[in-house]
Structure 1
C-alpha cells in the first residue's frame, strides 16, 4: 500500500536509487544537455568571454523534452535578455559613478522584476532576469570608464546569447518532436497496463504515478506537433481520443490491481496484454492503432468487478482512436467544463496562493496580481536577502563569494516549504558539486592539453548533473546545484582553471546565500502551503461534482485526468510540510485531517469515474462527496452503506428514463447464454462499484476514528 499523503519522508538511500533509475528519454535528454554545455564551453573559451560557468549553467534553464518548447523558450529568453541589457545600459548612465545610487537601482530593479516574476507568467525566468540585472550593475561598478562599461554589457549579453544560440541549433537537429514524445508516453502507459494485468502485485505504484501525472503534458505535445509539422491536423482528433481511451484503460487496470476480486484470469489477461503491446509498438512507430479487434473468452463467470474491468478495457481498446460524432450534448459538456475551470480558478484566487490552471487562457498578469500581498512580500524578501549578500561581500572586500548574491535568486520560492526544500537539495548539490569540481581541478585539469579535453570534462560533469536535474522533482534541484558548482570550479576563465581558492570561495558563497534565504523566508512573512492545500481541496470537490455530470466521455475523462493530477499535486504539497519550521507548519491534527481527505478521494476516484461512465449524474456520487467533507455523519458499515445507497435506486430509474445516453458496456464475444441481460448486467456492475466505494470509504473512516482515539489517549491527563 502506498504511503499516505503527508507521510512521505525525505528520500532515503533506497528511494534515491529509484529516483536515479533510467526512464524512456532520460539518457537522450541528459546527453543533449551535456552536448550543449560542452559546445558552450568551447565557444566561450575560443572568444574569451567572461563568466563561462554562468553561460554553461544557463543551458539547464533553456531546454525541455521537445524541440518546439526548447526553441520557443530560448528565443523568448534571448529577447528578454536583450531588453534587460538595454534597461541596464540606460540605468548605468545614472548609476555608474555613484555607489549609493547603484545600490538603490539594483534594489529597485530587483524588487520590480521579482514582483512581476511572482504575479505574472514570467515566473520560470523572472528570477534569472533579476539576477542578471543586479550582477551586471555590480560588475559595471568596477570598470574605470564608459567604453569598458559598454564592452562589459556586450559580454553580459553574450553570456546568455551564446548558450541560447547553441541550444536552439542543437534542439533543431537532434531534439525529439512533440508527436514522438506523445506517442512514447502513451506507449509507456499501455505497456504498464499490459504488465499490470499479468503481474498486478508489482505495478500498483507505477499505475498510481501515471494517474497522478495527468494528460496535460500530452495534450500540449499534440498541440505543438501541429506547429512543427510532425502531426497532420486530421490526426489530432484521433490522437486526443487515444489519450482519453488510455485514461480509461489505466483506471480499469488500477481497479484490477487494487482489488483482488477485480483481477482477470490468464485466459483473458493474456490476449488483452498482447493487444496492448501491439498498440504500444504502433504508437512508438509514429502511428496510432485503428480498427482493433479483441476476441475474449466467456466472461459470464467472472466477478462483477472483473466484468467492469473487462468491459472498460474492451470498450477503450476497440474504440481507442475512434472519434465520436459531436453533438449538442457534447457542447453542454464543454460548457460545464468551462464553468468548472472558472470555479476552480475563483477558489484559488480567493485563497491568494495559486495561479490559474494551465488550461485557462488569460492575460500576462495573474488575476490576483495587484490584490494579493504575497507577491509584494516575495519580491521584498528576496530583494532584502540579495542586497544583504551584495553588501556583505562588497564591504568585506571578498568578491570571490559573489555567488551568494546569485544563489538568493536561484533558491527563493513563493512558500517557505518549497524554499527550504529547494535550499536543502541545493546544499547537498553544492557539496557534491564542490567535491567533483575540486577533484577535477586536482586530478584532471592538470593533464588537459587542449580545449577538447576541457569540453570532455564539461560534457561528463554536465551529463551527470542533467541526469539528476531532469529526473524526479524530488531531487531535481540538487542536479541544478551540482552543475552550477562544478562549472564554477572548472570554468574559471578562457582556459582550464587550477586555482583551488576560486572553487573554495564560490562554494562558500553558495552556502552563505542558502543560509540567508532560509533565515529570511522562515522568519519574515513566512508563507505556508496550508492555504494552497485548503483551496485545492475545495476546488477538487467542486471539480468532481461537475465532472460526474458530464455526459460526454472525452470531456469527462479529460477532467478526471486533471482532477487526479491535481490531487497528486496536493499530496506533494502536504508532504512538503516536513520542510516547514514548527512555527510555520499547521497543527498535526490539521495535517491528519487533510491527509485523510486526500486518502478518501484517492479511494473513490476510480469508482466515481467508472459509475459516471455508465450513469452520468448518479446521486450516489454526491453522497460520497458529502462524506468526504463531513457532510454525512460517521456511521457503521451497514448504516453507512444504507445512507449512501438510499437515494440510489430512484436515481437509477430517473437516469434510465432521461434522454441522455447511458453506456451499458460492450457486447463481448461468448456463447449466447453466457452474458446477463443488459439492464441486469448494468445494475450488477453498478452495485459492485457502490459496494466497493462504500467499503473503501468506511475502512478509511474507521482508520481515521481509531487514529483520533489513539491521539486523545496519548494526550489525556494522567
Structure 2
C-alpha cells in the first residue's frame, strides 16, 4: 500500500497548474543559454552557474531582477573579503582553517538570526569553499586569478537572469491577474457544489499564499509598472478576492441553491471579463442571509471598482495588553545551528583533504545547501537531495553514453541542456514540499554533463561529485540528529502563538471602529506555514516527533481559528457576537493544545473566553 500511496502523492504534485509550464521553459532556456555562454567564454564550473539559476529563479520577473542584483552585490562583497583573508592565510594552514571556521560560523549565525538562512549559508559557502582552494594555489597571483574566476562564475548567471527577465520574464501584474482568476475559480467551484455537512477546509480555499500576492503587489508599486489608477484597481482586487474566499468558507448551510447558483454565475461572468481593464458589470443584490449578501458586495466592489472604495485612513494603534506570552527562540539556538553547519563542512573538508580526493569537494557544498534550522527540515532536504542526486545522475549518465558523443556543435549542447532541464525545472516550479528535488536533479544532471569547457563523457569526475554529495548528506544527517536536535514543533507553536495574537489584534481593531484585512492576511500566511511544517513532521527523529493526537489537534486548531477570524471580515455595523460565540463554543468543546510555550488547555480556554468574548460585547 505504501508505494501506491507515495506514487499518488508524487502524481498529484506533478500535475500542471497555471504558471507552472511558463516557469519551467524559462528555467530550462536560461540554463541552456548559461551553459552555451560558459562553453564559449570558458567560464569554469559552468554546472554551478546553471545551478544558481534553477535555485534562485522565480515566476515573477521583477522579483528575479531584485534577487539577481542582491546576490551579485553580496557575492562581490564576500569576494572582496576573501582577498583580504587570502593575504593573511595563504602561507598558514592553521590560519586558513581558523578563518574558515570563524567566517562560516559568523555568516551562518547572522543568516539564522535575521531569518535569511539561505543567504547566510550561501555567503558562508562562497568564503569557506574559496579559502579551501588556497591549498591548490601556491602563489598569490594564482589565488587571485582563482577568486576572480569564481566571481565571474557566480555573477554571469545573475547578469543573464536580469537580461532574460527584462526581455522574456513574466510581469508582476500578469501574475496577480492569474491569482485573482484562480481565487474566483475556487469560489465559483465551491459555490456551485451542493451543501455538505462538513465545512470546506479553509486551506483548500486559500491554497495560494496571500504573502505571494502581497509581494507581487509591492513590486508593481516599487517599479511603477502600472498607472496609479490601475495599481488601485489591483489593490482592491487583492482585497476583495481574499475577502470573497473568507466569506465563502463560512457560508451557512441554509443558503438556498438559487443564491449559490447566482453567486457562482457572477464569479464566472467576472472571470470572462477580468482581462478588460475597464471592467464593469451589472450589480447583483441578494438578501438570502448576511454572508451571501456580503459575498455579493465583495463581487460588486471587485467588478465595479471606481477608484474611491479603498479607504486611505491611517491605522489606529492597537492597545491590546492581552497578548499570549510566546517563548522566544533562544540565541543559543542560532549559535548551535551555526556550529553544526560549520563543523559538518569542516568534517567533509578534512575527509577529502586527508584522502587527497578533491573530486568529492561537493560534500562541503552540500553541508551549506541542505542545512536548515530544525531537524525535520534538514532531513527533509537531505532526502530530496538523495532522490534528486540519483535521478539526475542517471539522466546525466545516460546522456553522456548515448547523446553527448554524437554532439558536434554548440547547438547540440544547447538542445541537450534545454531538454534535460525540463523535468527538474517542472518539479522546481511545483510545490515547496518537493521543489528542492528538482533543483538537485538539475544539479546532478549538469555535473555529469558539463565538465570543463565542452560536453563531458568523463564519468569518473561525475561519479566523484555524486559521491561527494552523498558524503555531505551522511555527515549532515549524523551531526544534525546527534548534536542539539531541534524539533519543528517549536516553530509550529511559535506560529500558533502569533496567530492567536493576530486574532486578538483584529478584534481590538474592530472595537476601535477599524475594518481592514492586514491582520487576516498575515494570519493566512502563518496558517499556510503551519500546514507546510506539519507535513515535515514525518522527518522528525523519535525524540522530537509529535504524536498523532498532537498533529490532529493542531490541524483542527488552525482551521477553527482561521474560520473564526473570517467572521471579522463582516461589516463593523453587524453584531457578530452571537455568530462568534456559536463558532467559539464548538471550538472550545474539543481538546486543545497543551504546550508550555503557548498555554495549557485551561489557560487557553480562559484567554479565549475572557478576552475575545469581553471584546465582542462592545462590537
TM normalised by structure 1 equals: 0.76
Question: In structure 2, do the counterparts of structure 1 residues 474 and 122 end up closer, same or farther at CA, with 3 Å as the change threshold?
Answer: closer
Choose which of 385, 407, 425 in structure 1 pairs with 2:366.
407
Measured after TM superposition, the shift of residue 613 of structure 1 is 5.6
- Aligned partner of residue 136 in structure 2, secondary structure: coil
- Equivalent residue for 1:511? 470
| Residues 399-457 of structure 1 deviation map (CA, whole Å, 9 limit, x = unaligned) | 11111111111100011111111111111111111111111111111111112211111
- Equivalent residue for 2:238? 243
| Residues 363-413 of structure 1 deviation map (CA, whole Å, 9 limit, x = unaligned) | xxxxxxxx6111111111000000000100110111111111111111000
Whether 2:19 is the aligned partner of 1:37: answer no
- Equivalent residue for 1:83? 77
Question: In structure 2, do the counterparts of structure 1 residues 102 and 650 end up closer, same or farther at CA, with 3 Å as the change threshold?
Answer: closer
- Equivalent residue for 2:558? 598
Answer yes or no: is the 8 Å Cα contact 1:187–1:280 preserved in 2.
yes
| Residues 604-630 of structure 1 deviation map (CA, whole Å, 9 limit, x = unaligned) | 444x33667663673763685587568
| Residues 3-40 of structure 1 deviation map (CA, whole Å, 9 limit, x = unaligned) | xxxxx999721121121111111111111111111111
Question: In structure 2, do the counterparts of structure 1 residues 413 and 648 end up closer, same or farther at CA, with 3 Å as the change threshold?
Answer: closer
- Equivalent residue for 1:289? 279
Answer yes or no: is the 8 Å Cα contact 1:567–1:598 preserved in 2.
yes
Measured after TM superposition, the shift of residue 280 of structure 1 is 2.7
Measured after TM superposition, the shift of residue 516 of structure 1 is 1.0
Question: In structure 2, do the counterparts of structure 1 residues 573 and 614 end up closer, same or farther at CA, with 3 Å as the change threshold?
Answer: farther
My pick for the range that moved more, 194-203 or 102-111, is 194-203
Choose which of 493, 497, 503 in structure 2 pairs with 1:544.
503
Question: In structure 2, do the counterparts of structure 1 residues 200 and 20 end up closer, same or farther at CA, with 3 Å as the change threshold?
Answer: farther
- Equivalent residue for 1:567? 527
- Equivalent residue for 1:28? 22
Whether 2:359 is the aligned partner of 1:432: answer no
Choose which of 576, 592, 615 in structure 1 pairs with 2:536.
576
Choose which of 218, 223, 236 in structure 2 pairs with 1:223.
218
Whether 2:64 is the aligned partner of 1:70: answer yes
- Aligned partner of residue 257 in structure 2, secondary structure: coil
- Equivalent residue for 1:380? 339
Aligned partners of 2:222, 2:579: CA distance in 1, in Å? 44
Measured after TM superposition, the shift of residue 559 of structure 1 is 2.1
Answer yes or no: is the 8 Å Cα contact 2:507–2:615 preserved in 1.
no
Answer yes or no: is the 8 Å Cα contact 1:67–1:178 preserved in 2.
yes
Aligned partners of 1:232, 1:617: CA distance in 2, in Å? 38
Choose which of 284, 294, 312 in structure 2 pairs with 1:312.
294
Aligned partners of 2:250, 2:100: CA distance in 1, in Å? 57
Aligned length: 598
| Residues 96-136 of structure 1 deviation map (CA, whole Å, 9 limit, x = unaligned) | 23223222221221111111111125434221121111221
| Residues 309-331 of structure 1 deviation map (CA, whole Å, 9 limit, x = unaligned) | 43122111112235666779x54
- Equivalent residue for 2:457? 498
Could you list the runs of 5+ residues in structure 2 that have no partner in the other structure? 593-604
Answer yes or no: is the 8 Å Cα contact 2:375–2:540 preserved in 1.
yes
Q: Over aligned residue pairs, what C-alpha RMSD do you find? A: 3.4
Answer yes or no: is the 8 Å Cα contact 2:363–2:472 preserved in 1.
yes
- Equivalent residue for 2:597? none
Whether 2:471 is the aligned partner of 1:535: answer no
- Aligned partner of residue 430 in structure 1, secondary structure: helix
Measured after TM superposition, the shift of residue 278 of structure 1 is 3.5
| Residues 304-357 of structure 1 deviation map (CA, whole Å, 9 limit, x = unaligned) | xxx3443122111112235666779x54x5433xx67x998x966x421xxxxx
Answer yes or no: is the 8 Å Cα contact 1:550–1:616 preserved in 2.
no
Aligned partners of 1:326, 1:180: CA distance in 2, in Å? 22
Measured after TM superposition, the shift of residue 169 of structure 1 is 0.4
1:480-495 aligned at under 5 Å gives the runs: 480-495=439-454
Measured after TM superposition, the shift of residue 648 of structure 1 is 8.9
Could you list the runs of 5+ residues in structure 1 that have no partner in the other structure? 1-7, 353-370, 634-639, 656-718
Aligned partners of 1:19, 1:600: CA distance in 2, in Å? 26
1:225-374 aligned at under 5 Å gives the runs: 225-256=220-251, 260-262=253-255, 264-265=257-258, 268-284=259-275, 287=277, 289-290=279-280, 292-295=281-284, 307-320=289-302, 321=305, 331=314, 333-336=315-318, 350-352=327-329, 372-374=331-333
Measured after TM superposition, the shift of residue 523 of structure 1 is 1.0
Aligned partners of 2:374, 2:306: CA distance in 1, in Å? 44
Question: In structure 2, do the counterparts of structure 1 residues 430 and 619 end up closer, same or farther at CA, with 3 Å as the change threshold?
Answer: same
Question: In structure 2, do the counterparts of structure 1 residues 239 and 599 end up closer, same or farther at CA, with 3 Å as the change threshold?
Answer: closer
Answer yes or no: is the 8 Å Cα contact 1:178–1:224 preserved in 2.
yes
Answer yes or no: is the 8 Å Cα contact 1:411–1:419 preserved in 2.
yes
Answer yes or no: is the 8 Å Cα contact 1:445–1:498 preserved in 2.
yes
Whether 2:182 is the aligned partner of 1:188: answer yes
- Aligned partner of residue 377 in structure 1, secondary structure: helix
Aligned partners of 1:485, 1:385: CA distance in 2, in Å? 21
| Residues 131-159 of structure 1 deviation map (CA, whole Å, 9 limit, x = unaligned) | 11122112232023222222111110111
Answer yes or no: is the 8 Å Cα contact 1:400–1:506 preserved in 2.
yes
Answer yes or no: is the 8 Å Cα contact 2:201–2:249 preserved in 1.
no
